[in-house]
Structure 1
């Protein structure tokens, strides 16, 4: 994924996650509990492309912007920058 022409970033409007670890109930003999930092996966992301950074950040408290960027290491890969508006920045 790359930024479309003329876009600066994608403001996330809605994100839906699903539990990647299976049901929350665990039984004796189940595999070890997964690392809590890696238990959810995003299965739906909705957003709006922005042509430029929205000023001022104080009006966008809590907004999350996703910026897919070309990887400097491998052009087949994408680096992702995630920005959150908080505390006026």
Structure 2
């Protein structure tokens, strides 16, 4: 069974389904899709909006989407500057 529930924090419009958090309910976009878009080269909310439709309808997801973009860019920068590399 998979539960869908609103978070109890300031982002009450966010929902969790399985492993992915739905950020944009208007377009059914998850946090994973936003992170993937950033890993594929998107660096701004405008880029992600063009690719996925995030924040193009009601706009309630814009702050969360922007935060995910910033976090992912920070993680990518940290990985690029890390002296340790994952060995396959």
Greater C-alpha radius of gyration: 1
TM, length-normalised to structure 1:
0.27
More strand per residue: 1
**With CA pairs under 8 Å and 6+ residues apart, which has the higher RCO, 1 or 2?**
1
